[in-house]
Amino acid sequence: MSLPSLARYLPILDWGRRYDRGQFYGDMIAAVIVTVMLIPQSLAYALLAGMPPEAGIYASIAPIVLYAIFGTSRALAVGPVAVVSLMTAAAVGNIAESGTAGYMTAALTLAFLSGAMLVALGLFRLGFLANFLSHPVIAGFITASGILIAASQLRHILGIEGKGHTLIEILQALWNNVGETNVITLILGVIATAFLFWVRGGLKPLLRRAGLGPRMADIAAKTGPVLAIAGTTLAVWAFDLESRGVAIVGEVPQGLPPLTLPSFAPELLSDLFIPALLIAIIGFVESISVAQTLAAKKRQRIDPDQELIGLGSANLGAAFTGGFPVTGGFSRSVVNFDAGAETPAAGAFTAVGLALAAMFLTPLIYFVPKATLAATIIVAVLSLVDFSILKRAWTFSRADFVAVSVTILLTLFFGVEAGVSAGVITSILVHLYKTSRPHMAVVGRVPGTEHFRNVLRHEVETQPHVLSLRVDESLYFANARYLEDQLLRHAAEKPELTDVVLMFSAVNEIDLSALESLEAINTRLRDAEIRLHLSEVKGPVMDRLKRSHFLDELTGEVFLSQHEAIRRLERTSKL
C-alpha cells in the first residue's frame, strides 16, 4: 500500500511529516490546560456513568492517543462526555448493579461494541447513516438528557440515596429520601454550584479588568471546576467532614490504566447491541459537529468516514484499558482549540499528562466531595438545555415540532434509549411523510421572460390546452402514486387539454416504482388522447430512463427547457 493510501487510514502520517517546533509549543500549552480541565471532568463523568472515579481518567488516556493516530480533527478532545455517560449508566444499569464487577464488565463491553460499530461504519463509508437523526431531534434529545442528568445529580448535592433512569423515577426517589438530607453536603453542593455558575459569567470580566488578555481570561474561566474542587476538597480535609457524613471519592488506585477484557458472552452482547448502536450514533453526531465547527475556523477538512474510524478506535481503546464509551467533547475541544492546539499531538500530550496524574496525583483525589463533582456536571449540562428549539420548530415546521416533542417527552419519561430510538424513528417518518407528498406546482411563463413560476404565486401566462406541472422532489416508491393522483386531478380540470409537460428540474432520482407510475400516467393520458412530455430532465435521471422502455413508449417529447417545450407546443397548436 502506498504512503498516500496508508495516510487515508492513518492521518498521523500526513500531519506528522510536517510537524515542527512551533506546533510542538502550541500543542504542549494546550495539553497542559486541557489536562488540568480534564481531571475533574473525568471524575465527574465517571460518577455519572456509575463507574469508579479512576475509570474516568482511564477513559481519557488510551482513547485520546488512538484518536490522535486515526482521527482527522486537529482540535477535537476525546473522552467521557455527559450525554454518553448518561446513556452508559442507563444501558449498563439494566444489566448489573453499579459498583459490581458485572457492571464494569458490561461497561467495557458497551465501549467495545460501540467502537467496533463505529470502525465498521467508517471502513464501509456508512457515515451518512447518522444523517437519519435530524438536528432538531438531536437538540431535543440533548435538552431532555440535560434535564435528566441534572436531576440525577441532585442526590449527591443533598447527600441522599436515589436512583432511576427516568424523570419520574428520579424525582420519586428524591422525594422519598429528602428527609435524610445531609446539611453539610447540601451547603458544599450549593456553594460549589453557585461558584461554578458565577465562574461562567463573572470570572472572565474580573480577569479582564485585572489586565489578563481575552484569550487567557477565557481559558482561565473554563478551569473553574478545578478551583471548586480544590476549595471544597481542602474544606473536607481540614474539618474532617467525611466523619460528618459528607460522601467523598475515597481511595483511587495509583498507576497506569490496567489491561482489561470486555465480555464476549452472546447474551450480554445481545443485551447491549441496541444501546451500543445508539451510543455510537449519538457520539458520532456530537463529535463530528464539534470537529467540523472548529475545523471551519481554520479552513481545515474533516473526513466523516475517517472520524468514524478514529472514534471507534478510541472506544476500543477504552474497552481494553478500564474505561467506558467516549466521544469528542464540546467544552474540552473548545478549550483545546482556544489554547492553541495545532495538531492531534496535543491530545497525545494530554494523555501523557493524565497518565502522570493517574500515577502520582490520585492521593489528592481522596477527599474530593461527590457533591462538588455533581455540581460540575449540573452546571455543564444545564447549558445544553434549550427549550427554544420547540418554539423554532413550531414556527418553522409542525412536523419537526412533533419530532422534537416526542423525543423530549419519551427521553424524560421513558429513558434515554426510548428517547433516542423514538428520535431516529420519528426523523425517518417525518422525512417519509414530507417526501411522500412532494410539492407540485402548476406553472406558467412570466410575461416577457423564459422563466416559469407557480400560477398561485405569480402573474403568469398559461395555455388552456397545455398543463405544465413542476415536480419539486425526487420520485420514489413513497410518492409515486401521489404524483399520479395529482397529475390526473389537474388534467381532469382542463377539458381542452392536449399536452402535459412534467418539469423535472428538481428531480434528482427516480426509482422503479416511480418509473412504473410514469408509464401508467403515459398510458392513461394516451387513452385520453393527451400527450405526455418531459422537460429539464437531469443527466442522471435521463440515464436511468434510457435504461428502460419508457422513452420509446412516451407519447410526447423530452425538451431541454420548459421554455422550449411551451414554444414548440404553442406552434403545434396553431397548425
Going residue by residue through the chain, which has 575 residues, state the pLDDT in tens, using 9 for 90 and above. Answer: 554 556 667 888 878 888 888 889 889 988 888 888 888 889 999 999 999 999 999 999 999 999 999 998 888 999 999 999 999 999 999 899 988 999 999 999 999 999 999 999 999 988 777 666 777 888 888 899 999 999 999 999 999 988 888 999 999 999 999 999 999 999 999 999 999 888 877 777 887 787 777 767 776 777 778 888 999 999 999 999 999 999 999 888 999 999 999 999 999 999 999 999 999 988 998 888 888 888 888 877 888 889 999 999 999 999 999 999 999 988 788 878 877 888 889 999 999 999 999 999 888 899 999 999 999 999 888 888 888 889 998 998 888 888 889 999 999 999 888 887 887 788 788 888 888 888 999 999 999 999 999 999 999 999 889 999 999 999 999 999 999 999 989 988 888 999 999 999 999 999 999 999 999 999 999 999 999 999 999 999 999 999 999 999 999 999 999 999 999 998 776 54
Indicate if 422 and 444 belong to the same structural domain.
no
- List, in order, residues 6 or more apart from 83 with CB less than 8 Å away: 141, 142, 145, 149, 282, 286, 384
| 233 domain-assigned | yes
| 105 domain-assigned | yes
Indicate if 403 and 458 belong to the same structural domain.
no
Task: Please name every residue paired with 502 in a beta bridge, in sequence order, or none if there are none.
Answer: 469, 534
Q: Which set of grid coordinates corresponds to residue 415?
A: 429513558
Phi, psi (rounded to 5 degrees) for 468? -105, 115
Element (H, E) at 333: helix 330-338
| 249 domain-assigned | no
Indicate if 71 and 177 belong to the same structural domain.
yes
Secondary structure (3-state) at 394: helix
The angle formed by the CA atoms of residues 1, 67 and 256, to the nearest 5 degrees, is 120
Provide the pairing of β-strand 440-445 with 531-535.
Answer: unpaired
Indicate if 270 and 395 belong to the same structural domain.
yes
Q: Is the pTM of this model over 0.75?
A: yes
What pLDDT is stored for residue 512 in this prediction?
94
What pLDDT is stored for residue 8 in this prediction?
67
Indicate if 479 and 357 belong to the same structural domain.
no
DSSP labels, 130-193:
GGGS-HHHHHHHHHHHHHHHHHHHHHHHHT-----SSHHHHHHHHHHHGGG--HHHHHHHHHHH
Secondary structure (3-state) at 544: helix
Indicate if 42 and 149 belong to the same structural domain.
yes
User: 384, 407, 428 — which closes off a domain?
Assistant: 428
User: 428, 448, 477 — which closes off a domain?
Assistant: 428
Indicate if 306 and 398 belong to the same structural domain.
yes
Indicate if 332 and 452 belong to the same structural domain.
no
What pLDDT is stored for residue 574 in this prediction?
55
What pLDDT is stored for residue 207 in this prediction?
76
What pLDDT is stored for residue 299 in this prediction?
77
Domain that holds residue 423: 20-244+257-428
| 4 domain-assigned | no
| 36 domain-assigned | yes
Contact 537, 558 (CB under 8 A): yes
What pLDDT is stored for residue 259 in this prediction?
94
Indicate if 473 and 522 belong to the same structural domain.
yes
Query: For residue 324, what are the CA distances in angstroms to 81, 95, 101?
Result: 11, 15, 14
| 11 domain-assigned | no
Domain count, the chain: 2
Looking up residue 519, the CATH number of its domain turns out to be 3.30.750.24
Indicate if 412 and 455 belong to the same structural domain.
no
What pLDDT is stored for residue 296 in this prediction?
82
Indicate if 460 and 500 belong to the same structural domain.
yes
| 14 domain-assigned | no
User: 428, 454, 482 — which closes off a domain?
Assistant: 428
Indicate if 399 and 458 belong to the same structural domain.
no
| 221 domain-assigned | yes
Q: How far apart are CA 195 and CA 172, in angstroms?
A: 28
